[in-house]
Amino acid sequence: MKLTKMHWFGIAFALLTAIFATVIFTQFNDVNLFVFLIGLALAIVLFPFVLGSIFENKKEQQINEMFLEFSRSLAESVNTGTPVSKSIINMSKKNYGPLTPFIQKLANQISLGIPVHEALRNFAYDVGSPVISRAVALIMEAERAGGEIDYILESVAKSIAEVEKLKKERKASIYNLVVQGYIIFFIFIGIMLVMEFKILPLTSGIGGFGSLSNIGNINTLTSSTSTAQGISPEQFSAPFLYLLITQGIFTGLTVGKLSEGSIKSGIKHSFVLGVAALLISTGARLVL
């Protein structure tokens, strides 16, 4: 991924935050504040990359939609008796949004004498969309066989339209499940915080099963109790934090897979849930 100004700004701001956190930790020796600031710096440095991933997914969706329009226009042009190569060159003058540069490159290759199937293969490779790659493979075979390519183009357009329609329907039907996943995760965070700050302090003085089993031996009882009292609730902070972050990351990936059919699409959900778990957990330790 090419680093933009936004990426470098995020990296620079995150470095300043990390330096500030180090200075604060050196001066006040506050571990909770240090972890909170480091988590904030990590969120800042990752945010531009996550945002770039979201833009890439939207761009891919727009490209698929524009390729649907391109396939329909190509089918209509071929139906009039115009060869595929000439039709592509003619349509390269139209605007197809983010797909326009790829179509222009395809037309230029055909104009230079590159065979249509080779130019289409390069086109599919440059775009990098699985939907377009499958559609181009069908068009290439039809063009090479010399059959009813207009019929193939119409079938490809219908197939892409159905795929995009199914994606939108799945995303709409699964929306409530995505919201429920977020709500359940934040409830989980609340439960973990209540356990850490309310329940564990109440049990810090309990000796445990070891003291009950050795109730006849005063020395063993005293030793077991002192050992149990030596385990403070603060020692559970790190495992709880790791658990919340891990839960947030995998919950986000699952939500992305269910809603959009791709684990890559779940990166934004993992980022939101993971950062929320980190900042809420460490922030609560500063306040409570």
Contacts of 7 (CB under 8 A, 6+ apart): 48, 49, 52
CB 167 within 8 A of CB 261: yes
Q: Which of 54-58, 60-64, 131-135, 260-264 has the lowest mean pLDDT?
A: 260-264
What domains does the chain contain, in order, with CATH numbers? 60-167 (1.20.81), 174-288 (no CATH)
- Tens-digit pLDDT profile for residues 119-149: 888 888 888 888 788 888 877 776 666 656 6
Quote the distance between the C-alpha of residue 19 and its chain's center: 28
Highest mean pLDDT among 77-86, 188-197, 203-212: 188-197
Rounded Cα distance, 19 and 38, in Å: 9
- Tens-digit pLDDT profile for residues 195-244: 888 887 776 655 444 444 444 454 444 444 444 444 555 666 778 888 88
DSSP 3-state assignment of 63? helix
